[in-house]
């Protein structure tokens, strides 16, 4: 499945998305990748050793590669599918929960509101001017303060 699925994913990704659009997502997740890699190095081994064995190294690399593929597929899904189609699909998947009293219509409305809010805040964030300083804490706090005032 990996041999067939990965080239298909690469082809679809090349047609519908770009590497520059997903690179910031992967950059934000680098600490998660590193922590999962380190945890998977030693926890798959039955005996406790100071250095991981080759099987642990390969399993850790496989887990990180699978997580990167999941991020790529999720990005591809978001870029190629309309928001209304995603909401309709989730509402259809959650339809059996109507029998136990869970309202899928309310979930669809909440999801639509959240997705609209996220896109609106992303537009506000990209339009926020950046300050020129070398201190990253000041840059982050100024952008968050500007974004907060724009949202209010």
What is the model's pLDDT at position 45? 67
| Burial group, residue 72, by CB count within 10 angstroms (0-12, 13-18, 19+) | buried
Whether residue 23 lies inside any domain: the answer is yes
Q: Which of 12, 151, 3 lies closest to 81, judged by CA?
A: 12
What is the model's pLDDT at position 116? 83
Residues 69 and 1 in one domain: yes
Residues 76 and 86 in one domain: no
Residues 5 and 29 in one domain: yes
Residues 19 and 44 in one domain: yes
In Å, how far are 27, 106, 126, 134, 148 from 3, measured between CA atoms? 26, 40, 38, 46, 46
10-residue mean pLDDT profile of the chain (152 residues): values are: 76 75 85 89 73 82 89 83 85 87 85 84 74 80 82 78
Residues 10 and 44 in one domain: yes
Q: Which of 65, 75, 93, 91 lies closest to 22, judged by CA?
A: 75
Residues 115 and 49 in one domain: no
What is the model's pLDDT at position 33? 92
Q: How many structural domains are present in the chain? A: 2
The range of the structural domain enclosing residue 91 comes to 82-131
């Amino acid at each position: 499945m990996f041999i067939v699925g990965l080239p298909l994913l690469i082809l679809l990704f090349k047609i519908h998305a770009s590497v520059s659009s997903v690179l910031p997502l992967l950059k934000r997740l680098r600490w998660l990748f590193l922590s999962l890699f380190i945890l998977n190095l030693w926890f798959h081994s039955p005996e406790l050793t100071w250095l991981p064995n080759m099987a642990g190294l390969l399993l850790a690399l496989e887990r990180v590669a699978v997580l990167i593929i999941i991020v790529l597929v999720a990005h591809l899904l978001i870029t190629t599918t309309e928001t209304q189609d995603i909401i309709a699909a989730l509402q259809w998947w959650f339809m059996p929960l109507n029998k136990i009293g869970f309202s899928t219509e309310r979930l669809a409305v909440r999801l639509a509101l959240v997705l609209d809010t996220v896109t609106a805040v992303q537009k506000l964030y990209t339009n926020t001017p950046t300050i020129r300083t070398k201190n990253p804490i000041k840059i982050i706090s100024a952008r968050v303060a500007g974004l907060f005032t724009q949202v209010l």
